[in-house]
Structure 1
Amino acid sequence: MPEVIFNGPAGRLEGRFQPATRRNAPIAMILHPHPQFGGTMNNAITYRLFYMFKERGFAVLRFNFRGVGRSQGVFDHGSGELSDAASALDWVQGVHPDARSCWVAGFSFGAWIGMQLLMRRPEIEGFISVAPPANLHDFSFLAPCPSSGLIVHGDSDKVAPPKDVQTLVDKLKTQKGIVIEQRTLPQTNHFFEKQLDELIDICGNYVDRRLAMVSA
């Protein structure tokens, strides 16, 4: 898994990139949790999502937002991090220009950034949002949500309470033309402790079903 450094809007960004073996393989980009609370591209959920997509033949990128690890810049409360994500997607598309589709997956803060990126980049056709913090950040920009995707969260999450995630899901499900799948894991906190394998299985099965629909 090559270490990569690419240019972002606030300086160099550090990432890990797994190339695809097929020229037209899809792209996936994985976004990590909140930088000010220890979030990095090596977060366990971010790391496992990366390998889940790798095992399915995607070209996969995970990277550190500005100010994290060896990435330059300072935390920018979301707006700069969204620009980082857009630059990262530009970079991976430049490396893998023949990709037939693009996915974004994020955990917590990364889920919020990823869903904002959906609104900017129409080529993103699938998303996975793990424990989106609908109580902490405004998701009203999803009007309408442009892509179908999966939202997974725990019923014992005190960081992103289930009732707030449910409100977000209910709003998204009223839109025509997209399908939002929701999975709520019982007795599960924000970090999916002891349920990480189940989380990754749910996400992998969802991607498998979506890929099967495309190839059918």
Structure 2
Amino acid sequence: MPEIIFNGPAGRLEGRYQPSKEKNAPIAIILHPHPQFGGTMNNQIVYQLFYMFQKRGFTTLRFNFRGIGRSQGEFDHGAGELSDAASALDWVQSMHTDSKNCWVAGYSFGSWIGMQLLMRRPEIEGFISVAPQPNIYDFSFLAPCPSSGLIISGDADRVAPEKDVNGLVEKLKAQKGILITHKTIPGANHFFSNQMEPLMAECEDYLDRRLAGDLVPEPAAKRIR
């Protein structure tokens, strides 16, 4: 897959990019875990998500946030990383002007950035959020969450405890017009050690069902005049 360097808000950003053969194929952007705790675009979960979308014909991009690998700049506690993600999406869209739809997937810190990107970009029609951390990061900006998606976590996760993830899911499930799917991997910790196969099986099943037109939210009831 081609190595790429593109311009970001704090200098150059390094990524891996796989264009689809179809001009109007949807775009998928995958966001990595916390840069200060060893997170990079080569994280195994990030790589597997990238490959999952690529296999299904998406134009796919993963990249290093500022200050990681060959990406310039310094860690910016989320604000700059969100700008990096927006620049990454801009770059892919500039290369694929016929593509109208987009998905965002993120793991841990990357899921927090991905959900913020979702709020700013109406073309994002689906998301996969792996091991989000509502106990650490504020997700109150999801009011309302504009797109349906998958939240997937482990029931042995001490970094993002199950009760906190469940609280976020319940809050989002109460919103109208979207469908939040929540899957829990039994015995999985925050890193999905020895649980990569069930994690990816759930992600693949969800994406395949969405692409087949399933998992559509109930239409809002019409008011009787």
1:33 alignment partner AA: P
Q: How does 1:1-216 map to 2 (within 5 A)?
A: 1-213=1-213
- SS of the residue corresponding to residue 132 of structure 2 reads coil
Mapped partners of 2:167, 2:52: distance in 1: 28
| Per-residue Cα deviation, 1:94-148 (whole angstroms, up to 9, x for no partner) | 1111113100000000000000001100110000000001111000000000000
- SS of the residue corresponding to residue 110 of structure 1 reads helix
Judge conservation of contact 2:100–2:123 (CA < 8 Å) in 1: no
- SS of the residue corresponding to residue 99 of structure 1 reads coil
- SS of the residue corresponding to residue 213 of structure 1 reads coil
- SS of the residue corresponding to residue 105 of structure 2 reads strand
What stretches of structure 1 of length at least 5 have no aligned partner?
none
What stretches of structure 2 of length at least 5 have no aligned partner?
215-225
CA shift for structure 1 position 197: 1.3
| Per-residue Cα deviation, 1:4-29 (whole angstroms, up to 9, x for no partner) | 00000000000000010111111000
Mapped partners of 2:185, 2:200: distance in 1: 12
Mapped partners of 2:54, 2:118: distance in 1: 21
- SS of the residue corresponding to residue 177 of structure 1 reads coil
After TM superposition, which residue ranges in structure 1, 4 or more long, deviate above 4 angstroms?
Answer: none
Mapped partners of 1:57, 1:131: distance in 2: 25
TM-score by length of 2: 0.94
1:150 alignment partner AA: L
Mapped partners of 2:70, 2:111: distance in 1: 22
Mapped partners of 2:194, 2:125: distance in 1: 30
1:211 alignment partner AA: L
CA shift for structure 1 position 205: 1.1
1:185 alignment partner AA: I
TM-score by length of 1: 0.98
RMSD: 0.8
Q: How many residues align?
A: 214
Mapped partners of 2:127, 2:197: distance in 1: 19
CA shift for structure 1 position 150: 0.1
Identity of aligned residues (%): 73
Mapped partners of 2:96, 2:65: distance in 1: 21
- SS of the residue corresponding to residue 150 of structure 2 reads strand
Which residue does the alignment assign to 2:219? none
